[in-house]
A and B are shown apart, each in its own frame.
Chain A
């Protein structure tokens, strides 16, 4: 089931791209971009949801409601859900794309290992999952060498006798940059800020460690995915480079309000309950009011 739905299509797609570009490393990069393109609507939704959720933390009405029902958890949850619905926010909207990444990562890892078949038994298995329109004889052998890497093995750049895990280092750096530029504006007293900061420290370490341990092919996927995400956010105007480069002017665009405004538009289209008055003002007007509150 898992093989048929995830591993087999991934493997065939990778083989098809490899056949076209004649390079497995480039095939992995192109495959990553394709996955990014396919999951773009989810990524956009995730951004909207996470920003909207963040904005709620600063919403006086929401705060007041939570304060009111702080001793009645059930009621608080009920009111909270109702308020989410009013605002058109899906509280799980920011988790879904992240969750979708996990089967993709595991599936890709298994696909890379299948394509990198190096024993007759593995080659037999590879041959069996190749779709009929791909001629396995034309595909084999797969070149597992890309730049200085063996894509089936953990990557190390040998300088003298020292093996430097260049990809793992780049994965750490790009994961950190990605987390930073995507970090939504937070209030000093924001409860989620501590969580976001912890995650920002943990994620690069975790991803770097996996890139260090896993095959170079998967680490290449991590790197390409990170770079594509950063570029994607930058293109959407959501990246705040001032968090990485202090000399860059902060991006003060009130993303969250803009998103809620977007949501309102969607709400109107979908004939959802009336938008709440607090979010009626235009994004620009909201921005003006929020500017002094923003953390630098």
Chain B
């Protein structure tokens, strides 16, 4: 082989390596998936699922034992009876032991898409949305498929189980209501845009509240599927997150940062406020005291429902795209573009621990 041929082969190999380098490895970008239990915090981010001490942020263990560039995890896990259930971007959904994350009980590999959303638990089933346009109901004991719902687009929001119904946000401008035992579609409610966040269910009024990218908030009756009311104004922007109910007010944010409170029974506007910047994560309840609004730029403010204003504000050193989690007197904030994956605060705004794997 002459030099020219060798040079050409080297060049081709180099080009292949560069192009491949652009494409393999982590193929999706998302925020850390955080789940808080009584003792632990689980953080699914990039190549690992981390188990942390809830009170000091110390890393207790991680999955997998050997990091692979072909594996990525972003969906928050669910934990029940000593087991952790989670999916990844390598199309696998697992049940592992809470004691030892690397002790895999079963792996469900039938899906052909990624698991981006938190699953829901319902009796013997774990109900898992997948980007392959399916929702899988997997038997928790055996890891086998009990039913599957075939949709038209990727499912990326956590389903909500209410009695024998599963409420599913769909990107195809619908909210689907399925039979929890069989996966059969009972009915669907049309909305004006893609629904990206889980709906909110109010057991007192049997109402479901959901916002969409179609710049509207709707309420429908879960039993009948009838739409109670629709709220939308000319200056309302897209709605990316689940609303909250506080003091008989339905509170939600739009992307522009407007904070809007409605009467949950009528859809009548009660008041408006502004977070002062882009809000993707939406409001988060802080017990019955008030709520948090975390802006994309990391500014997080606490609002009491009575004052309707920012009572305290902290600047989280990162960008916030998913809802902070409030549990007890702790606030857990998943962030991107920061030194750490998660920052914690007290419910009065005092900074706590943060976690990055290097620590």
**Chain A residues at the B interface, C-beta cutoff of 8 Å:** 102, 105-106, 109-110, 113, 118-125, 127, 136-137, 140-141, 143-145, 150, 152-153, 158, 191-192, 194-195, 198-199, 202-203, 206, 209-210, 213-215, 218
Q: Which secondary structure characterizes the binding site on chain B?
A: loop
Chain B residues bordering chain A, tally (CB within 8 A): 48
Q: Which secondary structure characterizes the binding site on chain A?
A: helix
A199 engages B12 (CB within 8 Å): yes
B30 engages A150 (CB within 8 Å): no
Q: Please indicate the chain B residues that have their CB under 8 angstroms from the CB of A203 in the complex.
A: 12
Distance A206 CA – B20 CA, assembled complex (angstroms): 10
Q: Please indicate the chain A residues that have their CB under 8 angstroms from the CB of B31 in the complex.
A: 119-121
| Contacting residues of chain B (182-218) with chain A, CB-CB under 8 angstroms | 192-194, 196-197, 213-215
B2 engages A106 (CB within 8 Å): no
Q: Given A118-B116, A119-B30, A121-B321, does the pair A152, B5 have CB atoms closer than 8 Å?
A: no
Instruction: Considering the complex, give the chain A residue whose CB is closest to the CB of B117.
Output: A119
**Chain B residues at the A interface, C-beta cutoff of 8 Å:** 1-2, 4-5, 8-9, 12, 15-16, 19-20, 22-24, 27-31, 74, 112-114, 116, 131-133, 152-154, 156, 171-172, 192-194, 196-197, 213-215, 238, 240, 280, 296, 321-322, 336
Partner of A141, one of B20, B28, B154: B154
B16 engages A206 (CB within 8 Å): yes
With both chains docked as a complex, state the minimum distance between the C-beta of A187 and any C-beta of chain B, in angstroms: 16
Q: Please indicate the chain B residues that have their CB under 8 angstroms from the CB of A158 in the complex.
A: 112
Q: Given A106-B19, A122-B28, A198-B8, does the pair A140, B193 have CB atoms closer than 8 Å?
A: yes
Distance A218 CA – B19 CA, assembled complex (angstroms): 12
B2 engages A218 (CB within 8 Å): no
B280 engages A124 (CB within 8 Å): yes
With both chains docked as a complex, state the minimum distance between the C-beta of B343 and any C-beta of chain A, in angstroms: 17
**Tally of A-B Cβ pairs under 8 angstroms:** 115
Q: Please indicate the chain A residues that have their CB under 8 angstroms from the CB of B213 in the complex.
A: 136-137, 140
Partner of A118, one of B5, B19, B28, B322: B28
Distance A80 CA – B149 CA, assembled complex (angstroms): 68
Q: Given A113-B27, A120-B321, A194-B2, does the pair A144, B19 have CB atoms closer than 8 Å?
A: no
Q: Please indicate the chain B residues that have their CB under 8 angstroms from the CB of A119 in the complex.
A: 28-31, 74, 116, 156
Please provide the 9 A-B residue pairs with the shortest distance between their CB atoms, ordered closest to farther: A141-B171, A119-B30, A141-B153, A140-B194, A214-B23, A137-B193, A121-B321, A206-B16, A198-B5
Instruction: Considering the complex, give the chain A residue whose CB is closest to the CB of B15.
Output: A102
B29 engages A202 (CB within 8 Å): no
Q: Please indicate the chain B residues that have their CB under 8 angstroms from the CB of A218 in the complex.
A: 23
B322 engages A120 (CB within 8 Å): yes
Q: Please indicate the chain B residues that have their CB under 8 angstroms from the CB of A195 in the complex.
A: 2, 4-5, 8
Partner of A137, one of B132, B154, B238, B322: B238
With both chains docked as a complex, state the minimum distance between the C-beta of B28 and any C-beta of chain A, in angstroms: 6
Q: Given A119-B156, A121-B30, A150-B132, does the pair A210, B20 have CB atoms closer than 8 Å?
A: yes
Q: Please indicate the chain B residues that have their CB under 8 angstroms from the CB of A109 in the complex.
A: 22-23
B214 engages A137 (CB within 8 Å): yes
B2 engages A150 (CB within 8 Å): no
Instruction: Considering the complex, give the chain A residue whose CB is closest to the CB of B278.
Output: A124
With both chains docked as a complex, state the minimum distance between the C-beta of B12 and any C-beta of chain A, in angstroms: 5
Known pairs A121-B30, A195-B2 / 9 extra A-B pairs, C-beta < 8 Å: A118-B116, A119-B30, A120-B30, A121-B29, A124-B321, A140-B213, A150-B131, A198-B9, A213-B24
Distance A195 CA – B5 CA, assembled complex (angstroms): 5
Distance A120 CA – B238 CA, assembled complex (angstroms): 12
With both chains docked as a complex, state the minimum distance between the C-beta of A245 and any C-beta of chain B, in angstroms: 27
With both chains docked as a complex, state the minimum distance between the C-beta of A59 and any C-beta of chain B, in angstroms: 19
Instruction: Considering the complex, give the chain A residue whose CB is closest to the CB of B22.
Output: A106
Supply 14 A–B pairs (Cβ within 8 Å), ascending by A.
A110-B22, A119-B31, A120-B196, A120-B197, A137-B193, A137-B215, A140-B193, A152-B131, A153-B112, A194-B2, A195-B8, A199-B8, A210-B23, A213-B23
Q: Given A137-B238, A141-B153, does the pair A123, B16 have CB atoms closer than 8 Å?
A: no
Instruction: Considering the complex, give the chain B residue whose CB is closest to the CB of A124.
Output: B280
Instruction: Considering the complex, give the chain A residue whose CB is closest to the CB of B194.
Output: A140
With both chains docked as a complex, state the minimum distance between the C-beta of A137 and any C-beta of chain B, in angstroms: 5
A191 engages B20 (CB within 8 Å): no
B5 engages A206 (CB within 8 Å): no
With both chains docked as a complex, state the minimum distance between the C-beta of B141 and any C-beta of chain A, in angstroms: 24
B5 engages A121 (CB within 8 Å): no
Q: Please indicate the chain B residues that have their CB under 8 angstroms from the CB of A141 in the complex.
A: 153-154, 171-172, 194
With both chains docked as a complex, state the minimum distance between the C-beta of B229 and any C-beta of chain A, in angstroms: 21
A210 engages B112 (CB within 8 Å): no
Distance A279 CA – B171 CA, assembled complex (angstroms): 64
With both chains docked as a complex, state the minimum distance between the C-beta of B30 and any C-beta of chain A, in angstroms: 4
Q: Please indicate the chain B residues that have their CB under 8 angstroms from the CB of A140 in the complex.
A: 171, 193-194, 213
